[in-house]
Amino acid sequence: MGRTYFVEETVGQYLSDLSVKFKPYVTGLLIGQCSPQRDYVIRAARTPPKEEQKEGNTSPSKLDSIDEEWITAHASQVSRMLPGGLLVLGVFIIVTPELSKDSQNALRRLIFSIEKSLTKRRLWKPADEDISDRAALQVCSATKKIVCRTYDVQDPKGSAKPADWKYQSALSASWLSLGCTVNVNIHIPLLATSPNHDLEKNTKNGLNRWSKQIEDSIFLINGQVKDNDTELLEGQKKLRGNTHSSTQIFDVKVLTQLSQGSSHRSTATVQVCSGSINLKGAVKCRAYVHNNKPKVKEAIQALKRDIINTLSDRCEILFEDLIINEGRCKKNFETVYHVLPQRLFVPFAGSSVMLSDYKFGDEAAGEIQERFVEMLDQFVQAEDIYIAEEVNTVGICPVSENVDDTQQKQLTEATLLLKLQQNMGVVIAVAVAVFASIFSFNYFSD
List, for residues 191-211, the tens digit of each pLDDT value: 766 654 567 777 888 889 899
Q: What is the mean pLDDT of residues 164-190?
A: 90
Reported pTM: 0.81
Lowest mean pLDDT among 34-38, 114-118, 425-429: 425-429
CATH of domain 4-168: 3.40.140.10
- Which H/E stretch holds residue 41? strand 39-46
pLDDT of residue 435: 27
The tens digit of pLDDT for each residue in 47-89 reads 998 876 665 555 566 787 789 999 999 999 999 999 999 999 9
Indicate if the pLDDT at residue 284 is higher than 80: yes
Q: Are 182 and 84 in contact (CB under 8 A)?
A: no
Q: Name the residue among 116, 124, 119, 83 with its Cα closest to residue 355.
A: 83
Indicate if the pLDDT at residue 151 is higher than 90: yes
pLDDT of residue 50: 84
Beta bridge mates, 387: 344
pLDDT of residue 82: 96
pLDDT of residue 134: 96
Indicate if the pLDDT at residue 418 is higher than 50: no
What integer best gives the mean pLDDT of the chain?
A: 78
pLDDT of residue 23: 81
The tens digit of pLDDT for each residue in 368-393 reads 999 999 999 999 999 999 988 776 54
pLDDT of residue 189: 77
pLDDT of residue 72: 96
**What does the domain layout of the chain look like in residue ranges?**
4-168, 176-445
> For 9, which DSSP code?
H
169-to-38, 41, 212 alpha-carbon distances in Å:
16, 12, 39
| Gyration radius from the chain CA atoms | 23
Q: Are 418 and 430 in contact (CB under 8 A)?
A: yes
Indicate if the pLDDT at residue 327 is higher than 50: no
